[in-house]
Amino acid sequence: MENVTPELLEKAKSWLSDQYDEETRKQVQNLIDNDPNELTESFYRILEFGTGGLRGIMGVGTNRMNIYTVAMATQGLANYIKKMFADMKHPQVAIAYDCRNNSKEFAQITADVMTANGIKVFLFSALRPTPELSFAIRELKCQSGIVVTASHNPKEYNGYKVYWEDGGQVVSPHDKNIIAEVEKITDISMVKRKRNAKLIEMLDEKFDEIYLSNVMKLSLSPKLIKKHKNLAFVYTPIHGTGGQLMPTLFAKAGFKNFYPVEEQMVTDGNFPTVVSPNPEEPAAMNMAIEKAKAMKADVVLATDPDADRVGVAVRDDEGNFMLLNGNQTASILTYYILTRWEELGKLTGKEFIVKTIVTSDLISNIAQKFNVKTYDVLTGFKYIADKILHKPEETFVCGGEESYGFLVGDFVRDKDAIITCFMLAEATSWAAEQGKTLYQILKDIYKEFGVYKEKLVSLTKKGISGIKEIQEMMLELRKNPPKSLLGSRVIEIRDYKLGVSKDLTFGIETIINLPKSDVLQFFTEDGIKVSIRPSGTEPKIKFYFSMNEPLENLNELSGVEQEIKENLDELAKLFSEPKKEENTNDESLA
């Protein structure tokens, strides 16, 4: 067979044994007989269990998401849990799953393997949001947790995210240690799969009530919600898990005009109404925006399949809907929450917020106004959760990342679109009390702190040559960093791989107290910020560009925005070849 090595063919034929179900054997035999290219893709490697778990295309084979690769990963995780909690007769895990094809089946095989290993399982009876799984781990005093989801990836994908006893996704040293245990499971015969039903406890709507009651306790302006209960919201879960909880939450809160997009309330892992189930993509919001126009709604809210990311559209001064990006949503919420904390006398000087290093510094400046500390962490919400865990003497208020994730309060330890939508609705009530919209609140923020705008460029470099090209790009930037950007002198370089920040004005080096990561940042004297990082999950290199300008008069906003936009476009050309860009997301206000 052309392009199929003897070793790969032997590996594929091992899946024809009676250890595998009949349908799997049929599919493998079909690949052997008819599709050498797909056979190679399916078996050329073992699907990598990374620092966050599994993620891959569904199908048969060692390099695909299926009940066997999931079972083997679970056995490795079970071994690690038993090793870490050897003094417990039955360590406990919580398991949830989303709307994707095969998610329920993968969750069930995960429960089978866990209970076969003597581990008690709290299993959600139907699909539920990822943040509710994070909440369940701490609420039920579990040692670990798993959610079966590929988040906002295309429909062909599924995934398996692992959490630890603090409710956050696993970080060092557990991530590497779990990987080591998973890699020891080299054959399905090493997996215990006989379910022990006595060790399974189902979680249903009663548990939802516990979670939602905690969400409601975050409210800072319940009287304003009551006063402005007739504000209108259109919501879409994009066929995912948010539809299980969001209507109930808005009803409990007292909002009278909550309009779900019915076509997208249908649970469907094929996501038939969108090209991509990702609220970061404008097209994913189209149906909701059209409904909002028809219903004369004030705000549009959208959550991704596992309800940890939120997309938002608000009305501008002409009454047209405009999309907010993740930085803008996080800035509005941080401003609202800290304003109310101050008004309610809740600020004591021991509060903090957290953001990732590629997220807008506008958020830090807002926090500084209220004398609230900001911690910067590496990209990935697990690092925000880890910061909450390791600052017990301080009070976490909120935190977020530019990729549409935000969290309020600490009873969940992952980004939570359920909480975020609720707090956005409350912030809308607060704005209405001032005779304003969320857009006008954003303009007030820009007037006080300056106009901040960002641009993200992702370059895809496929294959082994692509990986090498990305490595060479990072090497060249380290060897020959820019001395100026758009005529503005570079005054600081942060190299997170070396863990060093260089002050180029005074020649001083300081240690960056974060885990090592292949990220570079350049800062100029005029406030330009460029962050460059290879993606950890895709063959991409990402460039994050940020600029800001003061705003003397709100009437000058559009002009200032246009000027920044043009500068960001020029900046992007310095670092990338536009003709090769696969995805350019211009995160502009207008």
- Residues forming the active site: 151
> How many Cα neighbours within 13 Å face the side chain of 174?
23
261 by DSSP, 3-state: which? coil
List strand residue ranges (DSSP E) for 208-286, in order: 232-236, 257-260
With CA atoms as reference, report the closest residue to 246 among 139, 129, 137: 129
Cβ neighbours around 507 below 10 Å, total: 7
Tokens of 140: 């039920």
Cβ neighbours of residue 246 closer than 8 Å, sequence gap 6 or more: 235, 237, 260, 301, 303, 418, 421
Host H or E run for residue 374: strand 373-377
117 by DSSP, 3-state: which? coil
* First and final C-alpha spacing in the chain: 55
Beta bridge partners of residue 54, listed in sequence order: 160
438 by DSSP, 3-state: which? helix
**Pair 545, 454: CB distance under 8 Å:** yes
Cβ neighbours of residue 488 closer than 8 Å, sequence gap 6 or more: 524, 525, 526, 528
List strand residue ranges (DSSP E) for 112-183, in order: 120-124, 144-148, 157-164
Residue type, 443: K
Q: What DSSP string runs through 337-352?
A: HHHHHHHTT---S-EE
**Pair 347, 372: CB distance under 8 Å:** yes
For 540-561, b/e burial (b = at least 16 CB within 10 A) is bbbbbbbbbbebeeeeebeebb
Beta bridge partners of residue 315, listed in sequence order: 321
With CA atoms as reference, report the closest residue to 535 among 524, 527, 543: 543
Size of the chain, expressed as the number of residues it contains: 590
538 by DSSP, 3-state: which? coil
